[in-house]
Amino acid sequence: MNALVKSILPTIATALGGPLAGAAVTFLADKLGISEPTQEKIQQTLSGMSAADLVKMKELDYEFQKYMAEIGIKLDLAQIKVNEKEAESTNWWVSGWRPYIGWICGTGLGYQFLVRPLLNGLAHLFGVDGDVFNSLEIQDLFAIVTTMLGNAALRSMDKKHGVAS
């Protein structure tokens, strides 16, 4: 992406350089009247514009920000619908993954901070030196815990909306 496009259209240029390139190309092609939406065609069109036209393009960058926000909201609403369908399901394989992850997290915490120290303490009482029972990787355990905190919030919303299973 050339420097002119980056300076005039920073949001669109960032999108063109990443996973949102398709949305950015479609948006710009529609606004510029380009029938064949490709990055090359857009660059050609932009490079042939006058300074006054490029100033107008700055407005498109703000419009693109609004467009992406609207798409984000639509994606969030679609994900909420998927979450509701999962929560309504009586199929344990569909609706049971959050509680299952919760049990794994609880078991891991229970082992790491309750069971393991008690078992190692008992082993020490019987004359065994060192830790017999291995520790879990604390980074992995914290990753599970933080993930579960997010999932707990989702489950609370399910319960608040009357979806028990």
Residue 25 DSSP class: H
8 and 82, same domain (yes or no): yes
Tell how far CA 164 is from the center of its chain. 25
State how far the Cα of 68 lies from the Cα of 71, in Å rounded to an integer: 5
Region of 160 on the Ramachandran plot (φ > 0 left; ψ -120 to 50 alpha; else beta): alpha
Residue 99: half-sphere exposure toward Cβ, Cα within 13 Å = 11
125 and 109, same domain (yes or no): yes
Using an 8 Å Cβ cutoff, are 21 and 14 in contact? no
Give the domain extent around 10: 3-86
Angle of helix 21-32 relative to helix 39-47, nearest 10 degrees, comes to 50
108 and 46, same domain (yes or no): no
79 and 132, same domain (yes or no): no
Query: Which contacts (CB < 8 Å, 24+ apart) does range 157-163 have?
Result: 158/83, 158/87, 161/84, 161/87, 163/84, 163/87, 163/88
14 and 74, same domain (yes or no): yes
15 and 46, same domain (yes or no): yes
State how far the Cα of 71 lies from the Cα of 94, in Å rounded to an integer: 27
* Domain-embedded: residue 165: no
Using an 8 Å Cβ cutoff, are 151 and 83 in contact? no
Residue ranges for the chain with pLDDT beneath 70: 1-8, 14, 16-20, 75, 92-98, 151, 164-165
Q: In three state form, how does the secondary structure of 109-123 look?
A: HHHHHHHHHHHHHHH
Domain termination residue (choose one: 24, 57, 86)? 86
What is residue 5's predicted lDDT score, i.e. its pLDDT? 63
Amino acid letter at 32?
Answer: L
What is residue 74's predicted lDDT score, i.e. its pLDDT? 74
Domain termination residue (choose one: 35, 68, 86)? 86
pLDDT digits (tens, 9 = 90+) for 21-53: 777 778 878 888 888 878 788 777 877 778 777
Residue 35 DSSP class: S
Match 């120290």 to its residue by tokens.
117
